[in-house]
Structure 1
Amino acid sequence: MPGGRLPQQERQRIAAGLADRLSYAEIARRLDRPTSTISREVGRNGGPGGYRPQQAHRATTERARRRTPAPPRTTGAPGGTAEEGIIELAVRTGLPRTTARVHVDLLLSEDGRRTAAELTRRLEVSPASVSVAVNYLVQHGYVRRERDPRRRHDIYVVDDDAWYHAIVLSARQTLASARAAMGAAEALGLDSPAGRRLAKAGTFLERVVVDMTDSADRWRTLLA
């Protein structure tokens, strides 16, 4: 998480970036972290010429151990808090880390509502990073954007119906891929190897989308 503890894998990528003479800003961009996090990490652990990821990881772990008690563990979050575990799972599915952090922060908020300023302050990330994250979440149906007419700013909301809308949007995108595959199959000719392969893929995706949409409609009442 930006501003938080770095996993060892990211420290190794920092070392690789320093070896390639990348700027702190470029390393931060590749890791989806604030530049200040990278500069602070390197400055605390030997500087650009003496940074060693394994030593940095051990030193940071030792400092954290002296400062605070170990965070509570859960079976859902090996090696971290429940919130960190959810974030890591989201990242493994391909979600950018900052986007995952924004989504989880909204999910765990009292009323499922945050302004961009609140997200920026709570997560210690730039307003631009929050903007990119919430735009992705809104586009994919995970979050709804509301306008506060009194304060003239947006509020980002996770409601009970968000999961349904996310599945419906995903189904539409998959259906578009299925139809594109079928169109390409017809253009190539269904008697050609590539045509047959694309036709099978398109049919498969179409059937899966139908089942997914039917299931979402059937179980939507669980979110009511």
Structure 2
Amino acid sequence: MNRNGGVGGYRPEQAHEATRQRARRQRSKAVTSPEPPAARTQEAEDKLTDVLVASGLTRMSARVLACLCLTHSGGLTAADLVNHLHVSPASISKAVAELEVMNLIGRERDHPRRRDRYIVDNEIWYRSLLASAQFNTNIAMVARESAEALGRSTPAGARMDAMSEFFEHVGRETIAVAQRYRHVLTR
């Protein structure tokens, strides 16, 4: 009886203000696409997507990565990506999971909005090259084991031995080049 007006009767403005103050969390602002794509930005996004698809990413993962790379803030929420790319939340979720496994994107918590933001930074290309080098090292190791199992003097064993040596060199050189030019990414 006294809570929203007291003895003098019910006062809707006072009730509204009291309810607003008791609310556990504030109303979040409407989610809007942070940067509507200009024609040039959309063209750049499409070209980057095509190159990323050609490198082996799925189309949706490539679209998400291209969108994040070309966003001024370097980070977007899943809702932002859904709005910008005009796809389902499930598509974004699957693409983000793939990109996170490959260490191409990161995740940070947007505490006021209680949402995750997916981010790219200048280090993604460095991490990508290191992941590629690790992949090459793994191929070299399997090829070396195969050469030993088959016998290096057999045609298949000799082929595996050459493959092992090649991928060991490529892996080492990839790491060296990535480390040598890492400073370019931090300018």
- Confirm or deny a common fold (TM above 0.5): yes
The match for 1:143 is 105
Report the Cα offset of residue 206 of structure 1. Answer: 0.7
Residue aligned with 1:191, SS: coil
Does residue 95 (structure 1) correspond to residue 69 (structure 2)? The answer is no
Report the Cα offset of residue 149 of structure 1. Answer: 4.2
Report the Cα offset of residue 150 of structure 1. Answer: 4.4
After superposition, give the CA deviation of every residue in 1:48-99 in whole Å (9 maximum; x if it has no partner).
Answer: xxxxxxxxxxxxxxxxxxxxxxx56x9xxxxx82322222222223321111
Aligned equivalents of 2:135, 2:98: Cα separation in 1: 15
Does residue 174 (structure 1) correspond to residue 136 (structure 2)? The answer is yes
For the pair shown, the structure with the greater C-alpha radius of gyration is 2
The match for 2:153 is 191
Aligned equivalents of 1:95, 1:178: Cα separation in 2: 23
The match for 2:183 is 221
Aligned equivalents of 1:147, 1:173: Cα separation in 2: 30
Aligned equivalents of 1:110, 1:158: Cα separation in 2: 11
1:99–1:137 Cα contact (<8 Å) kept: yes
Aligned equivalents of 2:73, 2:44: Cα separation in 1: 19
After superposition, give the CA deviation of every residue in 1:158-197 in whole Å (9 maximum; x if it has no partner).
Answer: 0011110111111112211110111111111112111110
After superposition, where does 1:58-137 map in structure 2 within 5 Å? 81-137=43-99
What is the TM-score of this pair, normalised by structure 1? 0.61
The match for 2:8 is none
The match for 1:212 is 174
Report the Cα offset of residue 222 of structure 1. Answer: 0.8
Report the Cα offset of residue 153 of structure 1. Answer: 2.8
Aligned equivalents of 2:110, 2:45: Cα separation in 1: 28
Does residue 202 (structure 1) correspond to residue 164 (structure 2)? The answer is yes
Report the Cα offset of residue 118 of structure 1. Answer: 1.1
1:182–1:198 Cα contact (<8 Å) kept: yes
For 2:124, which of 155, 162, 167 is the aligned residue? 162
Residue aligned with 2:162, SS: helix
The match for 2:30 is none
Structure 2, unaligned runs of 5 or more: 1-38
Identity %: 40
What is the TM-score of this pair, normalised by structure 2? 0.73
